[in-house]
A = this chain, B = another copy of it.
C-alpha cells in the first residue's frame, strides 16, 4: 500500500511552502490566532485538496506551476480549514484527527474568529486572482459548504433519507470543493472547456469516493485510527451509506434510529445490525464505482508523473477502506 505522502511527491516542495505560508498568514500578525494556526496547519493534515489542485496544475500547465495556481491551492485549503473549524463549533465536536478541536482548546470565540478570518482572507485572495470564472467557481463552493452543513442539521435521525440525498449532501460537504477547485486549476492553465469539465468530474467523483470511504471508516476503523470514537456519525444521527443500505434489510434499525438510541444498548445493537448487513460491502462498491469514474475522467490528459499520481490517488482512497 502506497502512503499518501509518497503520492504527492511531484508537488512535495510546493505543499511544504503552502503549509508555511498558511501558518504565517493566520498566525503572524495575531497572537490570538497564533496557537490556532499552529494547530490548524501543523502536523496531521493530509493536505489532500491543495495536493490535487497542485497536481492538476502541473498536469495541465504548459510550463511549471504558476504563482496563481499556488494561490488557488492555498485558497482551497483555507476554505476547507475554515469550514472544518466552524463545523466543529456547529457539531460541538471535541476531537478531530485525534486532537482536540479549535473550539474545545481555545473556545468558541477563537474558533469563530479563526474561521471568519480564513473565509475573509480566501475571498480576498480569490478576488485578486483577477479571474471572474474562478471567483464564481469558488464562491459556489462556499455556498455549497453552508448548504451541506444545514442539510446535515435538518436530516439528523431521518430514516427516510434517500441514498440520492446522502450523495447530494456529500457533494455539498466534500466533493464540491474538490470538483470546483480542480476545474479552477484547469481554467488558470487555459485548458479547453472539455478538459475543464473532465477535471470537474474527476474532482466530483474522487470527492464522493473519499467521503464514502470516510463514512465507512466511521464503522470499521478503530477509535485510535479515527481519532474519535467509532460510530460517531450514527450516534449523532448523521446517516451515511452503510446505515442507509442496512435500513433496506433490517427494519428494526429504523426503530432504533427513530428513537435516537434513547434506550440502553440501542447504539450497540444498531452497529451490530449494520455489521450484519450488506451495508459495508455495498458502500465499498459505491466508493469503488466513483473512484473508477474519477480515473476515467482524466484518462485524456497527456501522460505525466502528476497525472499518474492523480490516478494512484483514486486507488489510495479505496485502499483506506480495507
A residues near B (Cβ < 8 Å) are 30-33, 86, 89-90, 92, 108-109, 112-113, 115-117, 119-121, 123-124, 126-128, 130, 132, 135-136, 139-140, 142-143, 145-147, 149-150, 153-154
Complex Cα spacing A320 to B243, Å: 59
A-side binding surface: helix, strand, loop or mixed? helix
**Docked CA distance A37–B179 (Å):** 31
A146 lies within 8 A of B113 (CB): yes
List the B side residues contacting A33 at CB < 8 Å: 150
Given pairs A116-B145, A117-B146, A117-B150, 5 additional interface contacts (CB within 8 A): A89-B112, A90-B109, A113-B153, A124-B140, A132-B132
A116–B83 CA distance with the chains assembled, in angstroms: 9
Q: How far is the CA of A154 from the CA of B140 in the complex (A)?
A: 33
Given contacts A31-B154, A116-B86, whether A130 and B132 have CB atoms under 8 Å apart is yes
Min Cβ gap A284→B in Å is: 32
Bound form: Cα–Cα A108–B112 in Å: 10
Q: In this complex, which of A109, A112, A135 has the most chain B Cβ atoms within 10 angstroms of its Cβ? A: A112
CB of A127 within 8 A of CB of B139, answer: yes
Can you sample 8 A-B contacts with CB below 8 Å?
A32-B154, A89-B109, A90-B108, A117-B150, A119-B146, A120-B147, A124-B139, A127-B140
Shortest Cβ distance from A65 into chain B, in angstroms?
23
Chain B CB within 10 A, most for which of A32, A109, A142: A142
Given the known interface contacts A127-B132, A136-B128, the answer about A119 and B117 at a Cβ–Cβ threshold of 8 Å is: no
Inter-chain contacts of A150 with B (CB < 8 A): 30, 32-33, 113, 117
| Complex Cα spacing A90 to B140, Å | 26
Selected contact of A127 from candidates B86, B108, B136, B147, CB within 8 Å: B136
**A143→B118 CA distance, assembly (Å):** 9
Which residue from chain B places its CB closest to the CB of A149 in the assembled complex? B113
Given the known interface contacts A30-B154, A146-B120, A153-B32, the answer about A139 and B126 at a Cβ–Cβ threshold of 8 Å is yes
Cβ contacts under 8 Å, A30 to chain B:
150, 154
Docked Cα-Cα span, A127 to B130, in Å, equals 12
Given the complex of chains A and B, what is the CA–CA distance between A28 and B253 in angstroms?
Answer: 32
**A92 to B107 Cα, complex, angstroms:** 11
Please determine whether A90 and B113 come into contact, CB atoms closer than 8 angstroms: yes
Give chain B residues whose Cβ lies under 8 Å from the Cβ of A115: 116
Cβ–Cβ < 8 Å partners of A145 in chain B: 116, 120
Residue from A86, A119, A120, A136 whose CB has the most chain B CB atoms within 10 Å: A120
Instruction: Give every chain B residue within 8 A of A149 (Cβ-Cβ).
Output: 113, 116
CB-based contact B136/A121 at 8 Å:
no
Q: A91: nearest residue on chain B (CB-CB)?
A: B109
| 7 closest residue pairs by CB, A with B | A120-B146, A127-B139, A123-B139, A120-B142, A127-B136, A117-B146, A124-B143
Within the complex, what minimum Cβ distance (angstroms) separates A318 from chain B? 31
